[in-house]
Amino acid sequence: MSNLLKLFQDTSAFYGSNAVYIEDLYEQFLENPESVETSWRDHFIELQKTLTKRDIPHSPVVERFAQLASSSTSRIAELQGFTEESVKKQSAVARLINHYRAHGHQMASNNPLGTIQKKIPDLDPNYYGLSELDLDTLFDTGTLYGVDRLPLKDIISTLKEIYCGNIGTEYMHIFDTDIKRWIKNRLEGSKPGENLDTQKRTWLLQQLTAAEGIEKYLHRNFVGQKRFSLEGGDCLIPILDELIQRSGRYKTKEIVIGMAHRGRLNVLINILGKSPAQLFSEFKGTAETSRGVISGDVKYHMGFSSNVETEGSVAHITLAFNPSHLEIINPVVEGSVKARQDRYGKNSANTVIPILIHGDAAFAGQGIVMETLNMAQTRAFATGGTIHVVINNQIGFTTSNPFDARSTLYCTDVANMIQAPVFHVNGNDPEAVLFVTQMALDYRSTFNKDVVIDLICYRRRGHNEADEPATTQPMMYKKINALPTTRVTSHYPQANIKKLLYNIFYELA
Ligand SMILES: Cc1ncc(C[n+]2csc(CCOP(=O)(O)OP(=O)(O)O)c2C)c(N)n1
């Protein structure tokens, strides 16, 4: 190492690891120039004059400051008003914040069956040279929660709340800076449930009651009959209802849904508006699917369509008929959406939206998932982004240990290949689920790209109600049997449940 380089390294606050800090400050400056200190702001303004585009790559920023550093280290010290030690610490904090954004999901408490607490070395402040003694020191937060400075302990608790709570988000693998910034701002800008009024909370309770109610009714009245119950994944119903309602904001006219067996009857009744009486007659074996043909096991392969009122509009919702072959409906739905969009003409990506609902085992296991994802951004087949919802009940028939089911960390990892953001959300926290649902639709409608909601839940009963899951999964089912339902777990007032149930089902039937 040359003497000059050594001197530079020893004396400059802008050398090496501090580059991350400067980049972070610059990012902050780009969003709100007033939010950075005057001396930094002046430098960034100077820097921008030498560049033509506003959203420039960050390497020139680092280079420019390296030049400044070598030309006058004393001037820099004067400019920043920090000691070398404090700048190093600030840089460490910036790196810690970034690592929470990128890897916090690995420590998220988003599994309703409990999380095995893993230690992730680079989420530990010690890893960056920060210690207990720094916890009360004030540091710049970048854009975190809109607060300029916080003690380190509050920065860490805020990061844990956003990135390691009931939502674990994978988005830092995305190359596009605008997309990354959009997701970061949504995640860090408000908390799940923060802005929910009583009306929306009541709506959530109604959705969960409806989801639970139909399963309980069928369970009691058609004992031992296959229905591929949704129980444990109840939040699928508020997800779909919210996607449909909110699509009105984007003037959506049609939504095409593809899904397999799990929860299909629930979706038919609670989302598509199929008559419960019709479903019950299919269970009794008296319904004719076509003249002279009794339904048999056709009921969980049936399609349906109806018109549903949305926020300020009406949308035509179609549930595609599906065969037994898992996931094979995906390209069919995409083709159907593409044809509908073509019919509406140019710029109709938001006019018709595809929603694909997957099982966790099937999403990881079926090649057709990858094949369909691969077409997502091609010119001839793109449909303006698909909203994927994985009913991740953590079991595929009898295979529940992920290491026996796949070689990836998450069942959704195949979606990383197209840089889709993935929200791993605790299916027992309806407000967190609502938060990611709204974000998913807004993301899809803003960027016209695929997005994944990984609804981490459980399967309360066997694969199809005719089997006993505890035979092969005794430990898992001990936990599940001790869990109250999502409606009960969520902290909503339970007073009017009976009345709600009565209104929703018994009257309709
Ligand atoms: C292509 C294909 N392979 C296998 C099956 C048999 N099968 C039906 S359901 C199922 C388990 C699916 O598990 P998962 O995708 O997690 O959905 P879940 O039933 O747990 O909701 C299997 C293997 C099938 N129907 N189609």
Q: Which domains does the chain have, with CATH numbers?
A: 1-81 (no CATH), 198-506 (3.40.50.970)
What's the gap in Å between 403 CA and the centre of ligand 1?
A: 17
> Ligand 1: which residue has its CA nearest to atom 13?
396
**pLDDT for the residue 225:** 87
C-alpha–C-alpha distance, residues 410 and 424, integer Å: 9
What's the gap in Å between 305 CA and the centre of ligand 1?
A: 25
At which residue do the structure tokens 């994802």 appear? 373
- Closest atom of ligand 1 to 396 CA is 13
- The ligand 1 site (C-beta within 6 Å) comprises 262, 324-326, 359-362, 391, 393, 395-397, 459, 463
> Ligand 1: which residue has its CA nearest to atom 9?
397
Choosing from 261, 264, 265, 326 the residue with most ligand 1 atoms within 8 A of its CB, the one to mutate for a pocket test is 326
**pLDDT for the residue 25:** 77
What's the gap in Å between 236 CA and the centre of ligand 1?
A: 18
What's the gap in Å between 230 CA and the centre of ligand 1?
A: 14
Residue 316 has φ and ψ, to the nearest 5°, of: -90, 120
Interstrand relation of 313-319 and 304-310 (parallel, antiparallel or unpaired): antiparallel
Q: What amino acid is encoded at 262 in this protein?
A: R
pLDDT digits 0-9 by tens, 181-224: 999 999 999 999 998 999 999 999 999 999 999 999 999 999 88
- Closest atom of ligand 1 to 359 CA is 15
Compute mean pLDDT per 10 residues along the chain, 509 residues long, and list them: 42 53 76 80 78 51 52 49 83 95 95 83 94 95 81 96 97 97 94 91 94 94 92 98 98 98 96 92 76 68 95 96 97 98 97 98 98 97 98 96 93 98 97 98 98 98 93 95 90 53 50
- Closest atom of ligand 1 to 328 CA is 1
C-alpha–C-alpha distance, residues 366 and 349, integer Å: 27
Residues facing 452 on adjacent strands: 388, 422
Choosing from 262, 397, 400 the residue with most ligand 1 atoms within 8 A of its CB, the one to mutate for a pocket test is 397
- Closest atom of ligand 1 to 391 CA is 21
3-state class (DSSP) for residue 369: helix
What's the gap in Å between 459 CA and the centre of ligand 1?
A: 13
- Closest atom of ligand 1 to 392 CA is 16
Q: What amino acid is encoded at 218 in this protein?
A: L
Quick one: 388 exposed, middle or buried, by C-beta within 10 A (0-12, 13-18, 19+)?
A: buried
Interstrand relation of 313-319 and 422-426 (parallel, antiparallel or unpaired): unpaired
What's the gap in Å between 326 CA and the centre of ligand 1?
A: 6
**pLDDT for the residue 290:** 67
- Closest atom of ligand 1 to 360 CA is 16
Q: What is the DSSP code (8-state) at residue 399?
A: B
pLDDT digits 0-9 by tens, 21-49: 777 777 778 877 887 878 788 877 877 77
What's the gap in Å between 460 CA and the centre of ligand 1?
A: 16
- What are the structure tokens assigned to 285, written together? 């074996």
